[in-house]
Amino acid sequence: MQILAFGVTADEKPLLERAFEGQHEVRCLDVFLSEDTAPIAAGYEIVSSSVNADLNGRVVRTLAAGGTRMIAQRSTGFNNIDLDVARQLGMTVSRVSYYSPYSVAEFAWTLAMAVNRRIVRASNRTRDFDFRLNGLMGRDMRGRTVGVLGTGKIGEAFTRIAHGFGMNLLGWDVAQNPACVELGMKYVDKDELFASADLLSLHVPLLESTHHIIDSAALKAMKDDALLVNSSRGGLVDTDALVTELRAGRFAGVGLDVYEAEAGLFFLDKSLEAVEDDTLARLVTFPNVVVTSHQAYYTHEAVGQIIDTTVQNVADYVAGRRSQNTLVPSPS
């Protein structure tokens, strides 16, 4: 069986091809699945998509019309897929429900320390042989308060690192994680979390209930010198409201690995094009902001687990099985 995989990076391609070797033939494309590229999938029963694919109803219908019966998403998030349309068309949809939580947690801490200790600014200076320390002063993390918004697997891993720093642990989630409680985490309501955190890190999924959970009110409730890190989903933060607060001189640092309008931008080279997104263009100009291109998950371990799970999801589809990764099962 032939599989068409969209949005495959150069690092990922040999791993994906090797994983399917001897089972199925996989064709890898670096373009993302969208309304413009969906017709390419005609004749492929199985299509694999990446996190920034646009699988709206029209795209799903185009895939189905071309003969696609399964969508294997290579990510945990699936808010980009119109599952209702897929269900109506009798398509199978799967995702990767689990991969290394340490990849994202460690990267979130990388962002936190990068903005706290002004690493990017320092690196840019030394490239010009400017070795002054002016404006590079950070803060110790020990003894400060971290707020963890979402304490699932990734939030727990992030909390363990915070515990190692010797920080006071505050958390919020719909359900408490006993492992975090054992580390000394105190669960509080969101208002207290926002007001008390010296460092706020976001680890909740993007749902209707969490869209813009960091809105203007939440940002205003935070300390003026707080650090904010988002390595989960861009839609958790109202970016326009964030820019407004940054323009007012608030926050010691902001680290963003995700952006709510990243589709069509992230994972692509736009360096020779005019930037049409005024909000993003303004955001990256702030000296206390670091923006990266949705790379928190991008480790050998995590990508390997994502690919292995995708291979298993395809095997389950072929065998008519369901698993915890099945979002829309095959019709009975």
Give catalytic residue positions: 233, 262, 294
| Calpha distance 51→76 (Å, rounded) | 8
Handedness of CA 73, 77, 80, 84 (dihedral sign): positive
What phi and psi, each to the nearest 5 degrees, are found at residue 58?
-65, -40
The two three-digit tokens of residue 79, written as one number: 């808010």
**Residue 303: how many CB atoms within 10 A of its CB?**
20
DSSP secondary structure code for residue 97 in this structure: -
The two three-digit tokens of residue 157, written as one number: 């891993």
The two three-digit tokens of residue 161, written as one number: 């690192």
39 to 58, 61, 199, 263: CA distances (angstroms): 11, 10, 45, 19
Pair 62, 38: CB distance under 8 Å:
yes
Query: SS3 of 146, please?
Result: strand
